[in-house]
Amino acid sequence: MQDKSQSSKVFVVTHEFYPKRGGIATFTEEMALAAKQLGWDVEVWAQHATEKDDKKWPFRVWRLPLKGTHDLTCQLRLAVQLIKRRRDLRRATVFLPEPGPMLTLMLLQRFHAFRPRNLFLTFHGSEILKFYHNPWIRPMAKRLMNYAKKISVLTEYTGGLLTNLFPETESKLLKTPGALRAGFEMPQRRARSSAPKVRILTVARLHPRKGQLETLRALHRLPAPVRENIEYWIVGTTARPAYEKELKTAAEWCDFTVRFFGGVSDDQLTKIYDEADVFAMTSIDYGKSVEGFGLVYLEASAHGLPIVAHAVGGVSEAVISGQTGILVPPHDADALTRALTKLITTPALRHELGEKGRVWSRKHTWRDSALKLFGEPAS
């Protein structure tokens, strides 16, 4: 008979957790919080962080001696911990919300002693392509998916991608949509009559897939009278110095202000959102990297910002074209410039799309997504 204390236990094993930023980290944190609120006994295994960089959580967070990359060193260090705690994991629910720990469990799954009784997986998009196109990983990924009890995705797009490449997942697939962060206070949009220029904002890591360069080039193509009345604000850090250099070099050629904020605190980001007028994140497919959803679109909508984005991946499930923003085909420079011009020069349209976005951003909750995946613990 299963120990009741273990039957209500959920281990969340991840390389993507606070203080790391990004959509996957947010997803992991919010699903853990929602599971805890449903009554599950949650324990998160996360990458190393110093005490000053961490914060208090309503569940146990065990910081592992690894950086949180996908390299072999991290995989082996996580494997050691999985082996040490294998009895606890085997009797509980183990949730792997991103590819880092999946790769480790793939190495261990041939040994039945390391197989959790209830294994749940979440896929976000790019990792599906990477698993499938790697001939060494693909069979191990299939074996892991076959063993998993439940597999979740955030969007219909990601679900279609997964079932097309790994058809065996279809019978256990469910959708756990992203939502606004827990405790998110819906801001009141303030009149910006004192702001002399229209501010276009991008919030994302500096990476070719996020499309900052596409947005910058489109803004540079605006008619001169329109360019005179804009600023482009870019928030985000990078692990790709070459791309950051290319972006800043392109900005030097612009005859309008381009501000690079780097990484900012949550409070600073809220202030930046409130001072912006248009949100632009023109993601593109980049190699085997795709935009599975984009939680940042919801956050921008919650701040009442109309959105300009490319119609790629799962973006159309985060931005409703014609209602919360304008979607344009990727790599159509003229269409992107026209969309930006329309929003920059039409305050009434910005307001209309922004207000509809505020309503749309509250459609889903993390509690509903956690309930779909975990259910409620047995009493």
pLDDT reported for residue 286 = 87
Residue 24's contacts (CB-CB under 8 Å, 6 or more residues apart) are 16, 97, 98, 124
Residue 311 has pLDDT above 60, yes or no: yes
> Does some domain include residue 188?
no
- For residues 370 and 339, membership in a common domain is answered with no
- For residues 171 and 226, membership in a common domain is answered with no
CA distance 374 to 379: 14
> Does some domain include residue 190?
no
User: What is the rounded average pLDDT of the residues 112-138?
Assistant: 92
What confidence category does residue 211 fall into, taking pLDDT thresholds of 50, 70 and 90? very high
Q: Look up the pTM and report it.
A: 0.91
> How would you list the strands of the sheet with 150-153, edge to edge?
60-63, 41-46, 9-13, 93-96, 118-123, 150-153, 173-175
Residue 378 has pLDDT above 90, yes or no: no
Residue 341 has pLDDT above 70, yes or no: yes
> Does some domain include residue 186?
no
CA distance 351 to 367: 30
Q: For residues 291 and 121, which has the higher predicted lDDT (pLDDT)?
A: 121
> Does some domain include residue 191?
no
Number of structural domains the chain divides into: 2
Residue 245 has pLDDT above 70, yes or no: yes
Percent of the chain with pLDDT over 70: 95
- For residues 161 and 206, membership in a common domain is answered with no
In this structure, the strands spanning 60-63 and 278-281 are: unpaired
> Does some domain include residue 36?
yes
- For residues 77 and 133, membership in a common domain is answered with yes
Q: Which is nearest to 202 in space by CA: 190, 192, 191, 213? A: 213
> Does some domain include residue 88?
yes
Per-residue pLDDT tens over the stretch 249-261: 999 999 999 999 9
Residue 4 has pLDDT above 50, yes or no: no
In this structure, the strands spanning 325-328 and 278-281 are: unpaired
pLDDT reported for residue 195 = 67
Residue 189 has pLDDT above 80, yes or no: no
Residue 2 has pLDDT above 60, yes or no: no
Percent of the chain with pLDDT over 90: 79
> Does some domain include residue 192?
no
- For residues 54 and 173, membership in a common domain is answered with yes
User: What is the rounded average pLDDT of the residues 77-82?
Assistant: 92
- For residues 349 and 368, membership in a common domain is answered with no
What is the CATH classification number for the domain harbouring 23?
3.40.50.2000
pLDDT reported for residue 6 = 57
Per-residue pLDDT tens over the stretch 51-67: 888 899 999 999 999 88
Q: Which of 163-167, 212-216, 236-240 has the lowest mean pLDDT?
A: 236-240
Per-residue pLDDT tens over the stretch 151-177: 999 999 999 999 999 999 999 999 999
- For residues 119 and 261, membership in a common domain is answered with no
pLDDT reported for residue 240 = 87
For residue 310, what are the β-bridge partners? 328
Token pair 């998009």 is found at: 125
pLDDT reported for residue 70 = 82
Residue 305 has pLDDT above 90, yes or no: yes
- Domain of 244? 198-360
User: What is the rounded average pLDDT of the residues 27-32?
Assistant: 96
Per-residue pLDDT tens over the stretch 358-375: 999 999 999 999 999 999
Residue 192 has pLDDT above 60, yes or no: no
- For residues 163 and 207, membership in a common domain is answered with no
CA distance 59 to 129: 33
> Does some domain include residue 95?
yes
User: What is the rounded average pLDDT of the residues 185-200?
Assistant: 71
- For residues 224 and 142, membership in a common domain is answered with no
Work out the number of other CB atoms within 10 angstroms of the CB of residue 165. 16
CA distance 264 to 205: 12
User: What is the rounded average pLDDT of the residues 88-115?
Assistant: 90
User: What is the rounded average pLDDT of the residues 236-263?
Assistant: 93
- For residues 279 and 351, membership in a common domain is answered with yes
State both tokens at 220: 């540079």
pLDDT reported for residue 290 = 86
pLDDT reported for residue 251 = 95
CA distance 251 to 301: 26
User: What is the rounded average pLDDT of the residues 191-212?
Assistant: 85
Average per-residue pLDDT in the chain?
92
- For residues 16 and 158, membership in a common domain is answered with yes
Residue 194 has pLDDT above 80, yes or no: no
Radius of gyration of the chain (CA): 22
In contact, 148 and 123? CB cutoff 8 Å: no
- For residues 226 and 163, membership in a common domain is answered with no
In contact, 315 and 302? CB cutoff 8 Å: no
Residue 114 has pLDDT above 90, yes or no: no
State both tokens at 32: 């853990």
